[in-house]
Amino acid sequence: MNEKITNVQVIEKIAKEVLQAKSQEEIDGFVSLVIYVGMFV
């Protein structure tokens, strides 16, 4: 059975693939940015 892909995993994938984030610091920064700024609507 396929494991469910979490929202955190999807956003981490975006950080790596679109923003070319290399370090965990950059990835964490993007996850926080999505939650605390990007979804500020």
Partner 1 sequence: MSDQRQTKLYKEKQERVAKTIRREEVDKPPFMLSADDYFPYYAGVEKSTVTSYDMAADVVGKVSDDLQFDTTIFPWLPANLFYGPKIRILGGGTYTVRNFEKMQDPEKVRIMGPEEYPELIKNPNTYLLETVLPRRFEVLQDINPEEKYNRIVEAVLGEGQKFSNYMQACEEKGCHLTLSGLMVNPVDFLFDFFREFTGIVSDIKRCPELVRDAGLAISEAYKPIIRSMKPASDKAIFIPMHIPAFLSPRDFEKTYWPSFKGFAEYMVEQGHNVVYYFEKKYGHLFDYLQELPKKGIIGVFQEDDMRLVKKKLGSSMAVAGGLSTTLMQHGTKEECIEHVKGLIQDLCPGGGYFITPDTPMMYPVDGRPENLKAVADYIRDCRL
Does residue 37 touch partner 1 according to CB under 8 A?
yes
Does residue 1 touch partner 1 according to CB under 8 A?
no
- With respect to partner 1, which residue has the nearer C-beta, 22 or 28? 28
# residues near partner 1 by CB under 8 A? 26
- Of 21, 33, 27, whose CA–CA distance to 9 is shortest? 27
Burial degree of 4 (CB within 10 A; 0-12, 13-18, 19+): exposed
**Residues of the shown chain interacting with partner 1 in the complex, contacts defined by CB under 8 A:** 4-8, 10-11, 13-14, 18-19, 25-26, 28-29, 31-41
